């Protein structure tokens, strides 16, 4: 089995078993992590180390590294971790028909132009994809989320080992009280924050996101679906960053998710990230996304559990303690 993370330290499955498949709706999804084996560096140092580890693993297969670059901050940090060490990679960009994702792709092209990179562009009629091919990928991966299926499609387009910037999700316990995602309008609906209790934060793994691991495993295809969880050390460096710790201590009134402010962490080591605002292109085809999502949820809606680790428990576990 290919190491999808270092020593396959990141594991997931059902009913406490590893990498098994869901048999029925009552099965309980879980996700777990290994423990660190050395001193942990800064977040940037760990990013650079992960890039070197991936290079060594992929070189042993005599295959190229194919970075999947969306133009977003996660994938830019991932890409810079390679190129700042002169590690050769293919840079893959998906361009939607009718310039639907021109915002993020524009960021990708700007970065590539600035750094003398010639990207490999994959053109996709995303509207047609959501009405046809998406369901084939969903059937193979049991994924109820249309946007995740694009990653699986892109896996199949590259010649080498695809590397994806899947990151961690650190959230306030009362997240749902403060805002929610409206699928019909693809916008955030915010609730007025009248109180901000000091409560635990959690590191969450969504079952539906495991399709990015499940698909290459089923196809027996080498891949790195989670750059930012590739080692216990890179995950711990992110969780122990002073900003993450500050948030997890409820030190910033009204903040409920590290996602909205993670650039504070990123730009310490990787300054001047190109993307200023995220826009995937799906915002302009909300009706098709909702139509596809509704069908997928009827078939695979039970693949939608969340496994949560309390923040301090996971930090203790990663350091070798018990949780």
Residues of the chain with pLDDT under 70: 100, 172-188, 276-284, 322-323
Cβ-based burial of 273 (10 A; exposed 0-12, middle 13-18, buried ≥19): middle
pLDDT tens for each residue of 138-186:
999 999 999 899 999 999 999 999 999 987 777 766 666 666 666 666 5
Q: Quick check: 112 and 119 in contact, CB under 8 A?
A: yes
**Domain at 6-318, CATH class:** alpha beta
2's tokens: 């290919």
Alpha carbons 230 and 208: distance in angstroms, whole number: 19
pLDDT tens for each residue of 83-99:
999 999 999 999 888 87
Classify strands 120-124 and 169-172 as parallel, antiparallel or unpaired. Answer: unpaired
Handedness of CA 96, 101, 102, 106 (dihedral sign): negative
38's tokens: 């050395």
């Amino acid at each position: 089995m290919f190491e999808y993370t270092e020593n396959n330290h990141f594991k997931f499955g059902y009913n406490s078993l590893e990498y098994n498949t869901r048999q029925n709706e009552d099965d309980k999804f879980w996700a777990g992590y290994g423990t660190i084996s050395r001193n942990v560096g800064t977040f940037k140092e760990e990013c650079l180390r992960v890039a070197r580890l991936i290079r060594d693993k992929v070189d042993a297969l005599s295959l190229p590294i194919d970075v999947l670059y969306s133009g977003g901050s996660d994938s830019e940090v991932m890409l810079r971790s390679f190129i700042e060490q002169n590690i050769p990679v293919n840079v893959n960009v998906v361009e939607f028909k009718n310039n639907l994702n021109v915002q993020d792709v524009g960021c990708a092209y700007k970065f590539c132009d600035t750094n003398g990179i010639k990207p490999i562009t994959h053109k996709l009629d995303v509207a047609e994809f959501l009405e046809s091919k998406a369901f084939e990928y969903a059937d193979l991966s049991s994924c109820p989320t249309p946007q995740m299926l694009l990653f699986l499609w892109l896996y199949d387009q590259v010649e080498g080992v695809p590397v994806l910037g899947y990151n961690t999700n650190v959230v306030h316990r009362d997240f749902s009280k403060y805002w929610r995602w409206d699928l019909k309008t693809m916008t955030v609906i915010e609730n007025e924050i009248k109180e901000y209790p000091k409560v635990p934060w959690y590191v969450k793994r969504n079952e539906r996101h495991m399709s990015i691991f499940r698909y290459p495993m089923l196809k027996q295809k080498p891949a790195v679906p989670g750059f930012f969880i590739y080692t216990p050390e890179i995950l711990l460096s992110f969780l122990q960053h002073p900003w993450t710790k500050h948030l997890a201590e409820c030190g910033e009134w009204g903040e409920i998710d590290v996602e909205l402010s993670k650039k504070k962490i990123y730009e310490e080591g990787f300054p001047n990230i190109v993307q200023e605002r995220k826009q995937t292109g799906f915002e302009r085809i909300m009706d098709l996304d909702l139509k596809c999502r509704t069908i997928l949820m009827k078939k695979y809606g039970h693949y939608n559990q969340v496994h949560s680790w309390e923040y301090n428990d996971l930090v203790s576990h990663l350091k070798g303690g018990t949780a």
